[in-house]
Amino acid sequence: MTISNTRPRRGRPPKTERGFEDTREALLRQGMVVLTEQVFSSTGLDSILKAVGVPKGSFYHYFPSKEAFGLAVLERYDAYFAAKLDYHLLDDRFTPLQRLRHFADDARAGMEKHGFRRGCLAGNLGQEVSVLPESFRERIGAVFTNWQRRVEALLEEARDNGTLTADADCAALAEYFWIGWEGAVMRARLTANDAPLELFVERFIAGLPQTR
């Protein structure tokens, strides 16, 4: 199904016990599952609607268009992934670099759990941005900036406590991390193993301007 322009709501809501917000949330969750595995531009809505138990004609009761749905799924994924980052990167029981390693280990375990079929939803969308509406380009960039700032803050903490040298460019290092991480996730899906993720994280940490 191709991306459609904004259309008025049509159809009736499904005859289930779920309310409007619960059904909309279920569609977003299923959208995250599907879009971590396949591209958005060629994804049909039928399988998503069927998995949630929503009649096809009721989709526009919850979202004005497929484009709006995709952007809402991306927003929900951003919130989900930012919370995962915060869980690890703000855990002050460990050093900043240990926290970064813990995040990477958790992500590796998640990919392995799903047989390396699932990748990064924002990264998947980024790879097809040339065929998506322009609204996606700006939003995907904002998502990566959001995650990048979290890693930048972590590296600044490492710089402030003397782990990194005083002249460490934490903003550039955080940007480099996400460029490399997204590439490693893509390669891990290709090879169906976690070696690319391990190699990247190991070399990223080893390459940091550490004082000790």
At 98-117, the pLDDT tens digits run 999 999 999 999 999 999 99
Q: What confidence tier does 3 reach under pLDDT thresholds 50, 70, 90?
A: very low
Contact yes or no for 88/36 (Cβ under 8 A): no
What mean pLDDT is reported for the chain? 91
Contact yes or no for 164/212 (Cβ under 8 A): no
Q: List pLDDT tens digits, range 121-171.
A: 999 999 999 999 999 999 999 999 999 999 999 999 999 999 999 999 999
**Domain spanning 20-207, CATH architecture:** Orthogonal Bundle (1.10)
Q: Which amino acid is present at 100? A: L
Q: Which amino acid is present at 132? A: L
Q: Is the torsion defined by CA of 157, 99, 195, 179 positive or negative?
A: negative
Rounded to two decimals, what is the model's pTM? 0.87
Q: List pLDDT tens digits, range 26-56.
A: 999 999 999 999 989 888 899 899 999 998 8
Burial class, 176, CB count within 10 angstroms (exposed 0-12 / middle 13-18 / buried 19+): middle
Burial class, 69, CB count within 10 angstroms (exposed 0-12 / middle 13-18 / buried 19+): buried
Mean pLDDT of 67-78: 96
pLDDT at 18: 65
